[in-house]
Amino acid sequence: MRDFHDDDLDQAIQLWDQNGMDGRAVPVFPLSEVIAAVRTGEPAVVAAVGDELVGMAVARADGERAWVLVLALAAGWRQRGIGSDLLAELERRLRASGVRRISALLPAEATGTAALRNYGYRPRDGLVYFETLDHLPAADAGLLDALGGRVLPGGLWGSVAGMEREKEIVERRIVLPLKETELVEQYGVVPPKAVILFGPPGTGKTSFAKAVASRLGWPFVELFPSRLAAAGGPAGLAAALREAFADIGALESVVLFIDEVEEIASERSGVAADPGHMVTNELLKLIPGFRAHDEHLMVCATNSVRSLDPAFLRPGRFDYLLPIGPPDATARAAIWQRYLGRAADSVDLARLVEASELFTPADIEYAARKGSQAAFEREVAHRRGEPAATEDYLTAISEIRPTLTDQMISEFHEDMERYTRM
Ligand SMILES: Nc1ncnc2c1ncn2[C@@H]1O[C@H](COP(=O)(O)OP(=O)(O)O)[C@@H](O)[C@H]1O
Ligand SMILES: [Mg+2]
């Protein structure tokens, strides 16, 4: 029994591999964590017979608590008390540094479990091991940063209130086929690579794109055509677009979002020298390359699907064209409820829903803030213990011009008929 030396690393890795082979479950602490612990001087002991490493035990201490990261024995050297000796050595080092509680978390079948039992460690029943993994490999972090992208928090899906129809379609057509990879294969489903969300402004297209990234746990990168354009002229923009796609292509997984895609994909005038022509063509050329990657999803949003170049909409480029429409009464009620918070208890929701007919979710969010602020200010001034009232919000509604018009809604219905692909 002795301390781990740097020269032991190769044999330690072999030992690790051997140990992994007979335990079917994946160890909780991966090899990289074990090596990192050893490198930073955490307690690590080995059992050696001559030059051969036949066992190792590594722990990580944190105050009074330590975790056994690995307890491994070479195949021919089990059931001989080496495991107990390793634990004794490990414990001695840990106790000397003030550790009082030592835990180990191992796959049920792992060799180490027998050694722990023999040495008097008691298994605890009734525990469940949870984990969540950041999807982003270390190598992608720098690139993602350079692209202005990030991993979004979980739970954004839940913050999209109402919109049940849209949610269901997005869930079934986009999220599930990208998440349920085994079933997808079994049933021959082709998961989407690129989709378009269309609908009037403020209906939640951006929110849906982010919610999808949040559900998948993939990083979210937004491409801003207007910023790329700063690179100088249409030729510059086309080149910048190419470069951005090359960078994005190097990410292991990504939701690429292009808002107001009509800016770079509007109908070409037919004049070859038309500057927009060049950029639209470039984007058309880039899509097949983007589609070649697994775990890459492009989401384009537009308020004006009818102005998109028809070549862009041809099958083979985008899997789905999904309408994200104005919220109906049920959706408006859910959105009001979400933004009213506790104030929802003291207002007549039905009246707010009725009064906000041409409101988008974004308009409702704004009206709810405004109404709540007014009620709050009144209370601060008078301290009458009056809750927010329906009138507060009706006033706010009357002061806001709704985004939607009857014409927009009828155009949206025409677009839905004509362009929806799901
Ligand atoms: N279903 C919804 N529930 C709650 N808030 C929403 C919903 N849809 C949109 N919003 C809010 O409205 C604002 C604008 O939404 P956004 O997704 O940017 O719309 P779009 O991209 O269609 O213009 C955001 O602040 C968002 O939080
Ligand atoms: Mg948007």
Q: Is the pLDDT of residue 20 over 70?
A: no
Q: What is the pTM of this model?
A: 0.74
Query: Is the same domain home to 206 and 317?
Result: yes
Residue 147 located in a structural domain: yes
383 dihedral zone (left: phi>0; alpha: psi -120 to 50; beta): left
Query: Is the same domain home to 151 and 227?
Result: yes
Mean pLDDT over 176-196 rounds to 94
- Ligand 1 atom showing the smallest separation from residue 331 Cα: 1
Residue 32 located in a structural domain: yes
Chain segment 225-265, per-residue pLDDT in tens: 777 766 566 778 888 889 999 999 989 899 999 999 998 88
The C-alpha atoms of residue 306 and residue 8 are separated, in whole angstroms, by: 66
The C-alpha atoms of residue 392 and residue 399 are separated, in whole angstroms, by: 11
The C-alpha atoms of residue 298 and residue 61 are separated, in whole angstroms, by: 44
**Domain with 241 in it: what CATH number?**
3.40.50.300
**Residues having CB within 6 Å of any atom of ligand 1:** 160-163, 201-207, 301, 335, 338, 361-362, 365
Residue 124 located in a structural domain: no
Query: Is the same domain home to 318 and 351?
Result: no
The pLDDT score that the predictor gives to residue 22 is 53
Query: Is the same domain home to 349 and 258?
Result: no
The pLDDT score that the predictor gives to residue 273 is 54
Return the higher-pLDDT residue of 381 and 10.
381
Which two three-digit tokens encode residue 67?
A: 């975790």
**Boundary of a domain, candidates 70, 90, 118:** 118
Q: Is the pLDDT of residue 294 over 80?
A: yes
User: How far, in Å, from the CA of 208 to the mean position of ligand 2?
Assistant: 9
Chain segment 124-153, per-residue pLDDT in tens: 999 999 887 766 777 788 888 888 899 998
Q: Is the pLDDT of residue 271 over 60?
A: no
The pLDDT score that the predictor gives to residue 263 is 85
Query: Is the same domain home to 31 and 179?
Result: no
Query: Is the same domain home to 339 and 316?
Result: no
155 dihedral zone (left: phi>0; alpha: psi -120 to 50; beta): left
Report in angstroms the alpha-carbon separations of 322 from 164, 209, 242, 283.
Answer: 14, 12, 26, 20
Domain residue limits at 288: 138-326+414-419
Query: Is the same domain home to 236 and 360?
Result: no
Ion ligand 2, residues whose Cβ is below 5 A away: 206
In this structure, the strands spanning 194-198 and 2-3 are unpaired
> Three-state DSSP class for 323?
strand
DSSP 76: G
Which ligand ends up closest to the CA of 201? 1
Total tally of structural domains belonging to the chain? 3
User: How far, in Å, from the CA of 202 to the mean position of ligand 2?
Assistant: 6
- Ligand 1 atom showing the smallest separation from residue 209 Cα: 17
Mean pLDDT over 76-82 rounds to 90
Query: Is the same domain home to 110 and 196?
Result: no
Under 8 Å between Cβ of 299 and 256: yes
Residue 128 located in a structural domain: no
User: How far, in Å, from the CA of 321 to the mean position of ligand 1?
Assistant: 19
Return the higher-pLDDT residue of 271 and 346.
346
Chain segment 341-393, per-residue pLDDT in tens: 999 999 999 999 999 999 999 999 999 999 999 999 999 999 999 999 999 99
**Domain with 349 in it: what CATH number?**
1.10.8.60
Q: Is the pLDDT of residue 280 over 70?
A: yes
Query: Is the same domain home to 220 and 308?
Result: yes
Whose Cα sits closest to atom 23 in ligand 1?
202
Query: Is the same domain home to 309 and 334?
Result: no
Query: Is the same domain home to 310 and 391?
Result: no
Chain segment 302-341, per-residue pLDDT in tens: 999 999 999 889 888 999 999 999 999 999 999 999 999 9
Which two three-digit tokens encode residue 378?
A: 């009144």
Task: Give which of 328, 298, 340 is closest to 412, Cα–Cα.
Answer: 328
User: How far, in Å, from the CA of 115 to the mean position of ligand 1?
Assistant: 56
Percent of the chain scoring above 90 in pLDDT: 69
The C-alpha atoms of residue 43 and residue 59 are separated, in whole angstroms, by: 6
**Domain with 63 in it: what CATH number?**
3.40.630.30
pLDDT band at 25 (very low <50, low <70, confident <90, very high): low
Under 8 Å between Cβ of 298 and 248: no
The pLDDT score that the predictor gives to residue 154 is 87
Return the higher-pLDDT residue of 30 and 367.
367
Residue 199 located in a structural domain: yes
Query: Is the same domain home to 243 and 350?
Result: no
